[in-house]
Structure 1
Amino acid sequence: MLSRTLLCLAITSASTPLLADTVWLKNGDKLTGTIKVFDGGKLLLNTKYAGDIPLDWKEVKTLESDQHLLVKQDAYNGEISKSLHAADDGKVTLANGDAPKTVELASIQQIMKPKPVVTDLVWKGNVDAALDFQRADKDTDDYNIAFKTSATHGRWRHNAEGEFNRETQDEDTTIDNWKAEYSIDRFITDKWFWDGRFTYKHDNIEDLRRQRTVGTGPGYQFWDDELGAFKVGTLLNRTDFEYSNGEKDNFYSVSGTWDYNRYLIGKKVEFFTNGELGKPISGVADYSLDTEIGLRYKVTEWASLNVKAEKNVISGSDDGDLDKTRYTAGFGVAW
């Protein structure tokens, strides 16, 4: 009896095909793997033989999948399909029980795995850490931790980032500051959005102890997909200063922002840059610049190595000019 059971199990296992998604291309090629996401004109297919492969959506003839996938035919609304079935050239069938629906591939704007609560939630981010210990005439310990994350659903995008810096020389603290920023974007069209943000900076060493900035203005998203993103914006800001002696000051300014990242070499390497260039309205300074540029190298699916350069410039200030450049190298995690 046991041998019969084992034989039946063996036959069943041998006859059951391995679940895999299939993509047929217009040139006749057939690829199997796991569909991760379709966005920005690229279908990302994960394969055992080549990792993640980005496929041009215009070159896809049809596809099939046994996954539950959220299929969006516009930027904000979609339906969860229990599976995808291959159809005629340039089409795919969404299987939902007794009511399958065949749609044009050209009408699909996004495909992703549905999330438990907010089905179209896309959450991504990274945490970078850099440590530097020098032992010489002066012992120097340097710590830098930074994070950046965004969550998108429907017409809303939430962004948060922060950074902590601390440096000690022979047990004397020479750098001790942190900053945090939160912004929320409301998309008016597929590309145009309105940005509102709040930034707080705190320094335990410098004369300028606290800095609070509230800003709002329009922005434009050039692209945002699995291979990278690029957005620019314009802000009208109010900034409040508080000094170590208790004095306070405030001013208004206009600024331009940018945020760009691009994945290279099969998503192994990420190039990124972001920053803000501002001009005070009241004339307290000529201009200010706060920017960073860097590279990340993915060691595993979640771990990475990074190198960054950060530059902070204030020109024409009544309190004197500022021009600081900081280089860091370290490790991090990304999702």
Structure 2
Amino acid sequence: MLSRTLLCLAVTSASMPLLADTVWLKNGDKLSGKITVFDGGKLLIQTDYAGAIPIDWKQVKTLESDQQLLVKQDAYTGEKAKALHAAEDGKVTLANGDAPKTVELASIQQILKPKPVVEDLVWKGNIDAALDYQRAEKDTDDYDIDFKTSARHGRWRHTAEGEYNREFQDDVVSADNWRLEYSLDRFLTDKWFWQGRLNYKRDKVEDLARQRVVGTGPGYQFWDDELGAFSLGSLLNRTDYEYRDGGKDNFYSVAMKWDYNRYLIGKRVEFFTNGEVGKPLSGVAEYAYDAEMGLRYKVTDWASLNLKAEKDVIEGTEDSDLSKTRYTAGFGVTW
């Protein structure tokens, strides 16, 4: 009896079709796998034989999928399709029960997997950690952890990031600082947005003990897709400095921010750089510069190794100039 049951299960499993999405290309090729996302003119399909493959949307003839997908024909609203069916060249059919709908591929701006509660929420981020132990003439212990996460829903984008660094040399604290930042972007068009930003830095070793920044200004999103993103923003900031000796400076400044990342080698390697350069409108300092650059290598879908270089400069103050450069190597988590 048991052998019959196992035989029936085996026959049933063999007769069931494999759930796979298919993309037909204009050159006659056909790719099978799982569609993960379409954004920024690139359709990403996950395959067993070549990993994640980005496809130029202009080269797609039609496609089909057994997944439930959110198909957006404009930047802010979308239609949930129970499945996608192949149609004539340049079109696809959205299966929605008794009312299937055939649309032009050129009219589709985004394809996402629906999220619970907020269907078009796109959430991504990373956490990186680095540890450095040196035993030599001077013993050094260095701990560094930082995170960055962003969530976009419709016209709104929330971004939060932070960093903590602590270093000992021969059991004496030589660095002890942390930073938190939150920004809220409101997209006015597909590319232009307005940003509000809060930033706080605390340093228990340097003469400049606290920095508080509140800023607002316009920005431009050049692109944001599965292969990377690039944006520039200009800000008018209100900045407060507090020094270890109790002194304070308050001033306004103008600043330029950038945020760039690019995936390479089939999304296994990520190059990234972000930062800000600012100019005070008073004579408290000549300029301020805070930036990082690095590489991440994905070991698995969620685990990564990273190399980073960070530079923090405040130049032109009376007696509290700051110039710090840090190089770190560590591991992290991405999603």
Same-fold status (TM-score > 0.5): yes
What is the rounded CA distance, in whole Å, between the counterparts of 1:131 and 1:258 in structure 2? 27
TM-score by length of 2: 0.97
Match of 1:64? 64
Matched, 1:297 2:297: yes
What is the rounded CA distance, in whole Å, between the counterparts of 2:149 and 2:5 in structure 1? 52
Matched, 1:195 2:195: yes
In the TM superposition, residue 242 of structure 1 has moved relative to its aligned partner by 2.0
Count of aligned positions? 335
Unaligned runs of 5+ in 1: none
Contact 2:208/2:320 (<8 A) preserved: no
For residues 88-127 of structure 1, what are the structure 2 equivalents within 5 Å?
Answer: 88-127=88-127
2:97 is paired with a residue of what secondary structure? coil
Contact 2:207/2:320 (<8 A) preserved: no
Matched, 1:284 2:317: no
In the TM superposition, residue 5 of structure 1 has moved relative to its aligned partner by 4.6
What is the rounded CA distance, in whole Å, between the counterparts of 2:5 and 2:309 in structure 1? 64
What is the rounded CA distance, in whole Å, between the counterparts of 1:69 and 1:101 in structure 2? 14
For residues 225-264 of structure 1, what are the structure 2 equivalents within 5 Å?
Answer: 225-264=225-264
1:300 is paired with a residue of what secondary structure? coil
2:13 is paired with a residue of what secondary structure? helix
Can you list the C-alpha shifts for 1:68-88, whole angstroms capped at 9, x where unaligned? 000000000001100000000
**Letter aligned with residue 285 of structure 1:** A
In the TM superposition, residue 287 of structure 1 has moved relative to its aligned partner by 1.2
2:199 is paired with a residue of what secondary structure? strand
Match of 2:308? 308
What is the rounded CA distance, in whole Å, between the counterparts of 1:269 and 1:4 in structure 2? 50
2:329 is paired with a residue of what secondary structure? strand
What is the rounded CA distance, in whole Å, between the counterparts of 1:12 and 1:141 in structure 2? 60
Match of 1:172? 172
Match of 1:38? 38
In the TM superposition, residue 8 of structure 1 has moved relative to its aligned partner by 3.7
Match of 1:28? 28
**Letter aligned with residue 215 of structure 1:** G
Can you list the C-alpha shifts for 1:24-54, whole angstroms capped at 9, x where unaligned? 1111111110000000000000000000000
TM-score by length of 1: 0.97
What is the rounded CA distance, in whole Å, between the counterparts of 1:127 and 1:97 in structure 2? 41
For residues 112-151 of structure 1, what are the structure 2 equivalents within 5 Å?
Answer: 112-151=112-151
Unaligned runs of 5+ in 2: none
- Moved runs in structure 1, 4+ residues, more than 4 A? 1-7
What is the rounded CA distance, in whole Å, between the counterparts of 2:328 and 2:3 in structure 1? 63
In the TM superposition, residue 267 of structure 1 has moved relative to its aligned partner by 0.5
Can you list the C-alpha shifts for 1:81-130, whole angstroms capped at 9, x where unaligned? 00000000000000011110000000000001000011001111111111
2:11 is paired with a residue of what secondary structure? helix
Match of 1:270? 270
Change (3 A) 1:6 1:294: closer
**Letter aligned with residue 212 of structure 1:** R
What is the rounded CA distance, in whole Å, between the counterparts of 2:204 and 2:166 in structure 1? 10
2:223 is paired with a residue of what secondary structure? strand
1:80 is paired with a residue of what secondary structure? strand
1:14 is paired with a residue of what secondary structure? helix
Can you list the C-alpha shifts for 1:277-316, whole angstroms capped at 9, x where unaligned? 1000012111111111111111111111111111112222
What is the rounded CA distance, in whole Å, between the counterparts of 1:36 and 1:246 in structure 2? 54
What is the rounded CA distance, in whole Å, between the counterparts of 1:179 and 1:5 in structure 2? 61
